[in-house]
Amino acid sequence: MANFRTHFGVASVGGAAVAQAGWQAGQWNGWQALAVALLVAFGGILPDIDADQSQAIRLIFNILAVVAVIVAVLILQHRVTPAYLFAACGGAYFGMRYLAGALFSRFTVHRGLWHSLLAAIVSGLSTAAISFSVMGQSERLAWIHGLALTLGFVIHLTLDECYSVDLTGARFKRSFGTALKLFSWRAPGSALMLVLVSAHLLSWLPSFTALRQVVAQGLALWH
C-alpha cells in the first residue's frame, strides 16, 4: 500500500489543482479555494485513521480534536458562561484526541470497513452537515466541502489499489480489492451502522437540489 507521504502528497496536489481550477472558473473565492484544497488533502489521509500507531492516526485525531473545539465554541458560545465554555472545549479536545482515538483503534481493523466507498460517502455527508448546520455555510459551499473531502478519500483508496498491483511480476498482491470496495463484507453490522448514520444526517444536510447543481457545474467545468 502507499505510505503516508504518498497519500498526503498526491491528495495535496489533487486538492490544489481542483481548488485552482474552481477559483479560476469563478466557482469560489481565494479563501474558499484554500478550504477546498485542505479538505481534499485531509481526505487523502483520513482512511488511515484505522491504522493503529500510524503517523496518520495521530495527525488525524489532532485535527479532529481542533475541529471538535471549534464546533463546541460555535454551539455553546451564546448558551453558557465563559467558564463552562472553556471546560466544554477542553473536554471536547481531550475526548476527541484521546478517548475517541482509543475507541476507534479498539474497534477498527486496518483495510476494513473504513477503507470503503461507504465510509467515503459518510465522511463527505458528515462534512457537508457540519459545514451547513454548524458552521453556517451556504448550501452550495457546504456540498462543495463534503465533495472535496470525499474526493481526497477516494484518491487514498485508489492509490492503495494501485499499489496492490505488482507490475514487475504482473500479478495482484493479497491486498488487492481491500481498499476500493463498497463496504466490508466481513463486517455487515458495521456497514449497517454507517448507513444508519447517513440516515440520521439527512436532517442536518443542505438540500440535494444544491448538490445536483454543484455536480452539474463541476461536470461542465471538467468538460
Domain that residue 191 falls in: 4-51+110-222
> Looking at residue 1, what is its pLDDT?
57
- Does some domain include residue 102? no
Residue 10: band (very low, low, confident or very high) from pLDDT cuts 50, 70, 90 = very high
Number of compact structural domains in the chain: 1
Name the DSSP letter for residue 78.
T
Q: b/e for 10-29, b at 16 or more Cβ within 10 A?
A: bbbebbbebbeebbeeebbe
Q: How far is CA 109 from CA 73, 103, 162, 184, 207, in A?
A: 33, 12, 21, 11, 34
Residue type, 125: L
State residue 38's pLDDT score.
94
pLDDT exceeds cutoff 70 at 175? no
pLDDT of 176 > 80? The answer is no
What is the C-alpha to C-alpha distance for residues 165 and 148, in angstroms, rounded to an integer? 27
CB burial string 131-148: b at 16+ within 10 A, e below: bbebeebebbbbbbbbbb
Model confidence at 172: pLDDT above 60:
no
Is 57 within the bounds of a domain? no
pLDDT band at 64 (very low <50, low <70, confident <90, very high): confident
Q: What is the pLDDT of residue 169?
A: 43
Coil, strand or helix at 166: strand
210 pLDDT band, cuts 50/70/90, is very high
Contact 19, 152 (CB under 8 A): no
What are 31-59's pLDDT values in tens digits?
999 999 999 999 998 887 766 556 677 78
Is residue 204 within 8 A of residue 133, CB to CB? The reply is yes
Total residue length of the chain: 223
Of 63, 67, 69, 35, the C-alpha closest to 48 is 63
pLDDT of residue 217: 85
pLDDT value at residue 220: 79
Amino acid letter, 32: Q
At residue 174, the pLDDT reads 52
170 domain residue, yes or no = yes
- Condensed to tens digits (0 to 9), the pLDDT of residues 132-170 reads 998 889 999 999 999 999 999 999 999 888 876 543 444
- Tell me what pLDDT residue 166 has: 45
Averaged confidence pLDDT in the chain: 83
- Tens of pLDDT, residues 86-120: 999 999 999 988 888 777 666 565 556 778 899 89
Structural domain includes residue 100: no
pLDDT at position 167, please? 37
Angle between helices 117-129 and 188-201 in degrees, nearest 10: 20
Q: What is the pLDDT of residue 170?
A: 44
Is the CB of residue 108 less than 8 Å from the CB of residue 56? Answer: no
What is the rounded distance in angstroms from the CA atom of residue 200 to the CA atom of residue 216?
26
Find, among 41, 56, 70, the residue nearest to 152 by Cα: 41
Task: Say what the pLDDT of residue 168 is.
Answer: 42
Cβ count within 10 A of residue 202: 10
